[in-house]
């Protein structure tokens, strides 16, 4: 797909439901003792993998319309145990299912597998933590990576996990440990990445009636033998990570763009990307369920620690192409264990525009192009690379995006909306 440069990107856009919230909500509804109606549910590759897994486990789901599903929970007792679940590259399905199945299986074992990239994404820290409490988990091929088999055996107790690799590991444990028969504690060690996603999980668990007591920023007491008390209806917020692309587009072109689906009451940490573009010179107005962004002057480069919002922080990389001066994105080592090695991929693709890019172990330093070049961008089957690099369309020479369909993972209509707002 070739996107030619346009001077503006203006209008209103409604976000699809958040992938992170959607897959958490699906799993929590599936282990609830009574039906839950999920509204504004994202329909994407990742949620499709979770729905397929839940169906294989015997969970009944009725589709009331495209984004409204009624989930008839099993109360933590699966009606069927298939031999294998194939989860594609859906980390938000793989990681929580490892923990929740460890906590809920009472007989038989099940193999969790994924595509080739999922087999390269580590799960060792999560599995180590579970195995410390007698989890019956065995790697089927390469140690530390899927595929793996899971059987009954996990016991309550004192759990510890390194929080520096993925917040999904911590969220997985927070969802699973309340299902065990006795009380547990969870200790987080290391430099905790993406803490807002942990806070999101805690907020959702509370809405589903689960009690977790934080003793400190890195230690939790988790009462056992809890049964979920879900709401009858649960609304999935719009995807705050997806909002970052429209915020950046308005910052580059002037906007205004009003983004519906997230706002001042959002439980997602990625809304903090609004503070990033404000620091660069854009104007942001928060409403209850919307964010309006505009800009009337040049943007300036910044030095930003992206550890807490790593997905949204990716959007800063192409935005830096349009800023005056150097931009530094720090503390994002976990980009390397996502759908692709995002540090390497962004550095490679940004250089194609004429930018000077220094890639470090956990950082990028970006100097905007002195002379723009038309980039033919490879997306590495990574939705966020495709959506980030679409912002290069606002350069004087445009951009070509290979395999834009990879956006189906989280935002199937992204390029349709981009064309509409930017009159491409």
Q: With contact defined as beta carbons under 8 Å apart, do 312 and 357 qualify? A: no
Angle between helices 195-207 and 167-176 (to 10 degrees): 20
Note the helical H segments in 134-259: 167-176, 195-207, 240-253
Is 311 a known active-site residue?
yes
- Position 165 scores a pLDDT of 85
d(CA 39, CA 53): 20
Phi, psi (degrees; rounded to nearest 5) at 176: -90, -40
Q: How far apart are the first and last CA of the chain?
A: 11
- Position 424 scores a pLDDT of 61
342 belongs to an annotated ligand binding site: yes
- Position 27 scores a pLDDT of 98
Catalytic residue among 46, 311, 378, 382: 311
86 belongs to an annotated ligand binding site: no
Query: Taking the CB of residue 207, how many other CB atoms lie within 10 A of it?
Result: 15
Q: Give me Rg for the CA atoms of the chain.
A: 21
Bridge partners of 328?
Answer: 303, 365
- Position 71 scores a pLDDT of 98
Which tokens in the block code for residue 170? Answer: 């911590």
168 belongs to an annotated ligand binding site: yes
d(CA 9, CA 367): 24
352 belongs to an annotated ligand binding site: no
Q: Is 298 helix (H, G, I), strand (E, B) or coil?
A: coil
How far is CA 14 from its chain centroid? 18
| Nearest Cα residue to 242 out of 13, 7, 5 | 13
pLDDT tens per residue, the chain (424 residues)? Answer: 777 655 679 999 999 999 999 999 999 999 999 999 999 999 989 999 999 999 999 999 999 999 999 999 999 899 999 999 999 999 999 999 999 999 999 989 999 999 999 999 999 999 999 999 999 999 999 999 999 999 999 999 999 999 988 899 999 999 999 999 999 999 999 989 889 999 999 999 999 999 999 999 899 999 999 999 999 999 999 999 999 999 999 999 999 999 999 999 999 999 999 999 999 999 999 999 999 999 998 999 999 999 999 999 999 999 999 999 999 999 999 999 888 999 999 999 999 999 999 999 999 999 999 999 999 999 999 999 999 999 999 999 999 999 999 998 889 999 999 999 987 6
Tell which phi-psi region holds residue 209, choosing left (phi > 0), alpha (psi between -120 and 50) or beta. left
| Nearest Cα residue to 251 out of 424, 394, 404, 347 | 394
77 belongs to an annotated ligand binding site: no
Query: Taking the CB of residue 321, how many other CB atoms lie within 10 A of it?
Result: 25
- Position 150 scores a pLDDT of 98
409 belongs to an annotated ligand binding site: yes
CATH of 19-221, one of 3.30.70.60, 3.10.310.10, 2.40.50.1070, 3.65.10.10: 3.65.10.10
Q: With contact defined as beta carbons under 8 Å apart, do 8 and 422 qualify? A: yes
76 belongs to an annotated ligand binding site: no
338 belongs to an annotated ligand binding site: yes
- Position 6 scores a pLDDT of 56
Fold equal for 2-16+238-422 and 19-221:
yes
d(CA 241, CA 21): 12
Domain limits of the chain? 2-16+238-422, 19-221
CATH of 2-16+238-422, one of 3.30.70.2860, 3.40.50.12780, 3.65.10.10, 2.60.15.10: 3.65.10.10
């Amino acid at each position: 797909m070739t996107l030619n440069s346009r001077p503006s990107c203006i209008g209103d856009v409604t976000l699809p439901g958040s992938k992170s919230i959607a897959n958490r909500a699906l799993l929590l509804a599936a282990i609830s003792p009574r039906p839950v109606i999920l509204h504004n549910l994202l329909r994407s590759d990742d949620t499709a993998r979770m729905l397929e897994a839940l169906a294989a486990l015997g969970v009944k789901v009725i589709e009331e319309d495209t984004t409204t599903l009624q989930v008839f929970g099993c109360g933590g007792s699966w009606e069927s145990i298939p031999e294998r679940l194939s989860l594609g590259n859906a980390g938000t399905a793989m990681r929580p299912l490892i923990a929740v199945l460890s906590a809920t299986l009472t007989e038989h074992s099940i193999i969790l597998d994924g595509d080739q990239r999922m087999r390269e994404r580590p799960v060792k820290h999560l599995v180590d933590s579970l195995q410390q409490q007698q989890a019956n988990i065995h790697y089927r091929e390469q140690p530390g990576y899927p595929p793996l088999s899971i059987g009954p055996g996990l016991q309550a107790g004192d759990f510890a996990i390194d929080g520096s690799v993925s917040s999904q590991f911590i969220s997985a444990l927070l969802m699973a440990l309340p299902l065990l028969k006795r009380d547990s504690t969870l200790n987080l060690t290391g430099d905790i990445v993406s803490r807002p996603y942990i806070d999101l999980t805690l907020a959702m668990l509370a809405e589903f009636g689960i009690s977790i007591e934080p003793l400190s920023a890195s230690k939790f007491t988790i009462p056992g033998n809890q049964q979920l008390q879900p709401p009858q209806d649960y609304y999935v917020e719009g995807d705050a990570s997806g909002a970052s692309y429209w915020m950046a587009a308005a910052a580059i072109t002037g906007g205004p763009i009003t983004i519906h689906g997230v706002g001042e009451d959002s439980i997602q940490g990625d809304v903090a990307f609004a503070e990033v573009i404000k620091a660069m010179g854009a104007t942001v107005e928060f409403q209850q369920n919307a964010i309006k962004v505009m800009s009337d002057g040049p943007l300036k480069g910044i030095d930003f620690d992206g550890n807490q919002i790593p997905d949204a922080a990716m959007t800063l990389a192409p935005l830096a192409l349009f800023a005056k001066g150097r931009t530094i994105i720090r503390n994002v080592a976990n980009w390397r264990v996502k759908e692709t090695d995002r540090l390497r991929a962004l550095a490679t693709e940004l250089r194609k525009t004429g930018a000077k890019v220094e890639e470090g172990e956990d950082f990028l330093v970006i100097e905007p192009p002195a002379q723009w070049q038309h980039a033919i961008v490879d997306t590495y089957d990574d939705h966020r690379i495709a959506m980030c690099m679409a912002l290069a369309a606002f350069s004087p020479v445009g951009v070509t995006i290979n395999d834009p369909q990879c956006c189906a993972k989280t935002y199937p209509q992204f390029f349709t909306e981009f064309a509409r707002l930017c009159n491409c």
